[in-house]
Each structure stands twice: as C-alpha cells, then as structure tokens.
C-alpha cells in the first residue's frame, strides 16, 4: 500500500487574498452559523441566525449585494428552519413546519409566498418529507403518510399530490429509505424491510422496489450508505458482519464486493466516498496506522493510496468535500493549524488559508460552489461562524474573458452550442456534486453538445485551451 506524505502550506499572496469574509451577519463574536446552502434562481439561499430575534431565518445572497433576509421565504412563519432543500422543475422544494401542519413538503417559485404542497400526514402530525432525489422527472423522498404506515418511499411529479410508492416494511413499522442515488437507470437506496435489516434496494420507476443485495445476511444490517458513482460502478460504505464498515463496489450485474479491508478484521475503517477528479476516486477512512485520512483509488486492482495530511496516526478528519474541475476542496485538521480549508489537485494537498491563525480552528465547512466562487462557513476567531468565500486560482489565473465565448441556449433541453474566440481543447461537464458527467476531447472553436440525457438541474462546464481554464454554468430543463 502506497503512502503519500503531504503537508504543504499555501503561501501565495495572490491566492490568500481571495479568501475573504462576505458578511458578519451576527456582528461581533456571536455566530450567525450560515448553513444548508442551495442555489436557486441565480441566488444562494441559506439559513443563518438573525440578531434581531436570535433565531434562524432564511437569507439570500446574489453575489453583488450583502446577504439579506428573504422577504418571501420569511413571510411564512415557519416554526423551524427549512431543511433538505432541492431544486425540482424550476421550484425550490423543502421540508418545513408552519406551526400548524407539522413538518411537510413545501415549494417556493422565487416570487410568491411559499406554499405547502400537501399535508401528507394530516393535521399537526408530520410526514417529515426528506432526502429528496429526482429520478425520471419525479421527486422521490422518505415520508410518513398516516398511522397505518411508517416512514416509507414516496413520489411527487410536480402536479398531483404526493403518493406512496411502496410500504417496504409493511404496516406501521418504517423501512426508512435513505441514501438515494440514480445509477444504471435505476434508483438505489438503503431500506429495512423488517426481515433483512438495512440493505441495498433498487427501484426502476415501474415495478415495486426490490432488495438488490443482502450484504449482511439475515436480520443484521449491511447499512450501505454514502453512495457515489465512479467508472460505471457504485461505491459505498457497508458492513458484511465480518470486516466492519469498509468500502464496497457494485456494478448492478454481479453481487457487491468489498474493495479492501483497510482496517483488518471486524474493526472498521469507516471508508466514506468523497470526491472524483482526474479519473481517480477519493474517500476518507480511518486506520490504526494513519488515523482518519484521505485515500485515493483508481478503480483497478492496485491498492488505495493514503494521503497523510496529519502525518502519522493522528487524524486529519477530512470532510465537507466539493469539487471544481481537477481540484476538490475540503476541511482537514493538523496540530499546527487546526481544522481549515484545504485543496487537492491529484498531486498536492494544500492548505488554502489559515483563517483562524495558529493552532485554533476556523472549522471551515459546508463548501458550496456559487458563481465561480466557493461559499462556506468559517470562524476567524473574532467574528464567530460567518459567511466566507474563496475564489479558486483556476478561475483567476489565465482566465478567459466573457466576451470571448458564447453559450446558448441557456437553459437548454437538447443541444447546447459553444462558440469561442479560442480553440478549445477539452470540455468537461460536472454536476453540482462534483461528479464528471461528460468529457470531450476536441480541437474546435465551435462546439455542439447533446445534453438531452442529463437530468434537469444546474451543471458546470470546464473549458480548457492554451489560454487557460474557464468555468461556465448552464441549466438543463
């Protein structure tokens, strides 16, 4: 097993200056604690504490003006913050409680007052609709309808009332479907039918959901979770009852297999899929030798390689990953600098900035890509946990100018056209999870791409030429 020691601190003044606080929403040392970021209608929506009430409210940020309270989103007196937000068919859907109907499914069109989609669990009881995932132009989620069923799989088509897809754990007990992902034209998720424990399920959109694999046979839990797609394989963490929580893969043809028993025996490495760049798969895992660190795997037979950020058995605890092009960003810990923002480009692990200088932690977290910037929550030691931004160097060095390209139509439903003043050598399309969707090697200044097969949503195009790198954004209808 290869080991890479990387503790390289970034000291370039030009890059450090690009990490700045956007706003001290709750002035002084108090925390506004911005979280649950989601982009909708060209704005970033998030939750943060308002100093006037000391309570969480919904904020908007347009990348021009300081963050401001969302008038429409706060016009409904939610008794709690919105949760599990997702964009679906040009509306923002989320879980919220108005104090009357319990936690239910709500929608917001960006203009009018938010509306409850339907009181799925009637009255003051909650359906607690959550874990929304789009599949075949339908929104799937976990929810509870009434006392006759538990938390089960539901669907919503954007027009009719939500419907129960299947009572997987029949009766009032819950199957608790979670960890949804679309793979091989099917919806995969974890569920418990009351007989096989928490295992991997598959749903094709027509026939009843079925057990895809009983990883930990019998009533014990295989607990497949945090799935990610890489090289036409589904990777996830699971436990077969013999080797602890380890990294597994599944091709939808053969039974799932464990990639490697990193923490040998019944102990767990807790290997969690994190990011994909440069045709390599990255995950975090914990071993007695290295602690909780970052690992990479090429999907072949070669063993994973550890990237030992906090050298030795002490953990760096990498978490909160977001990818852009050939680099991903995350939070990691070292004794010298605490928990700070880091980047990795496939070769070098770099601390972006020591925001809370010294061994104290900024606890930079919830990294979200928005308008060519990475927005996150951070604490510099004097202003509390507030809203920060970072402009990646790949977007600020040798950057193409807007007047040198034309992208149309946007939004797009079929073909997208790209005209440039430069010869483009490579085009990559990423989803908002940082997963590469298309990779086109071409030498042209006039490109036409078929994006009909993409699910509706926001996508990022990375253009490469001898003039530099440019990121564009488009909406697939």
pLDDT in tens, 384-417: 999 999 987 544 333 333 456 778 788 888 888 8
Question: Which pLDDT score, from 0 to 100, does residue 403 have?
Answer: 54
- The total number of structural domains in the chain stands at 2
Q: What global pTM score does this model have?
A: 0.80
For 420, the domain range is 402-476
Domain match, 348 and 421 both: no
Q: Tokens 């709500």 label which residue?
A: 106
84-107 pLDDT per residue, tens: 999 999 999 999 988 889 999 999
Question: Which pLDDT score, from 0 to 100, does residue 14 have?
Answer: 35
Question: Which pLDDT score, from 0 to 100, does residue 455 have?
Answer: 85
Q: Phi-psi bin for 182: left (phi > 0), alpha (psi -120 to 50), beta?
A: beta
Domain match, 97 and 132 both: yes
Domain match, 245 and 315 both: yes
Domain match, 370 and 233 both: yes
Last residue of a domain, one of 393, 427, 459: 393
> Is residue 243 pLDDT above 70, yes or no?
yes
194-207 pLDDT per residue, tens: 999 999 999 999 99
Last residue of a domain, one of 334, 366, 393: 393
Last residue of a domain, one of 393, 418, 437: 393
Domain match, 44 and 96 both: yes
Q: What is the CATH number of the domain that holds 432?
A: 2.60.40.3080
Domain match, 322 and 431 both: no
Question: Which pLDDT score, from 0 to 100, does residue 11 have?
Answer: 35
> Is residue 215 pLDDT above 90, yes or no?
yes
């Amino acid at each position: 097993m290869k080991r890479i020691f990387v503790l390289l601190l970034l000291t370039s003044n030009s890059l450090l200056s690009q990490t700045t606080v956007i706003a001290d929403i709750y002035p002084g040392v108090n925390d506004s604690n911005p979280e649950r970021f989601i982009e909708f209608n060209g704005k970033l929506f998030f939750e943060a504490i308002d100093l006037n009430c000391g309570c969480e409210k919904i904020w908007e940020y347009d990348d021009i003006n300081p963050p401001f309270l969302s008038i429409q989103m706060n016009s409904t007196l939610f008794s709690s913050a919105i949760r599990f937000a997702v964009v679906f068919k040009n509306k923002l859907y989320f879980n919220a409680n108005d104090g009357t109907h319990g936690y239910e499914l709500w929608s917001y069109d960006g203009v009018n007052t938010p509306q409850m989609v339907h009181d799925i669990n009637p009255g003051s009881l909650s359906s607690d609709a959550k874990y929304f995932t789009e599949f075949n132009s339908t929104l799937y989620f976990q929810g509870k309808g009434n006392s006759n069923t538990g938390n089960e799989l539901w669907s919503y088509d954007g027009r009719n009332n939500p419907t129960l897809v299947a009572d997987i754990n029949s009766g009032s007990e819950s199957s608790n479907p979670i960890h949804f992902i679309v793979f091989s034209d099917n919806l995969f998720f974890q569920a418990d039918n009351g007989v096989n424990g928490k295992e991997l399920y598959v749903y094709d959109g027509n026939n009843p959901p079925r057990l895809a694999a009983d990883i930990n046979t019998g009533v014990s839990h295989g607990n497949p979770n945090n799935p990610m797609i890489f090289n036409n394989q589904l990777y996830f963490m699971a436990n077969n009852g013999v080797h602890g929580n380890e990294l597994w893969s599944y091709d939808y043809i053969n039974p799932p297999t464990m990639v490697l028993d990193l923490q040998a025996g019944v102990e767990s490495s807790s290997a969690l899929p994190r990011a994909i760049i440069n045709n390599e798969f990255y995950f975090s895992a914990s071993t007695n030798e290295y602690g909780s660190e970052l690992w990479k795997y090429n999907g072949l037979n070669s063993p994973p390689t550890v990237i030992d950020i906090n050298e030795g058995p002490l953990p760096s605890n990498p978490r909160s990953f977001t990818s852009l092009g050939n680099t991903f960003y995350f939070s990691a810990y070292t004794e010298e600098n605490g928990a700070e923002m880091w980047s990795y480009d496939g070769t070098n692990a770099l601390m972006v900035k020591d925001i809370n200088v010294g061994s104290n932690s900024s606890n930079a977290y919830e990294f979200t890509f928005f308008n060519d910037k990475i927005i996150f929550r951070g604490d510099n030691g004097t202003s509390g946990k507030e809203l920060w931004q970072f402009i990646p160097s790949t977007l600020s060095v040798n950057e193409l100018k807007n007047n040198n390209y034309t992208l149309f139509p946007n939004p797009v439903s079929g073909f997208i056209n790209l005209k440039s003043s430069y010869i483009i050598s490579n085009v990559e399309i990423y989803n908002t999870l940082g997963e590469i969707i298309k990779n086109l090697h071409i030498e042209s200044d006039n490109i036409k791409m078929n994006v009909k097969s993409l699910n509706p949503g926001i996508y990022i195009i990375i253009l490469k030429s001898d003039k530099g790198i440019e990121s564009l954004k488009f909406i697939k209808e």
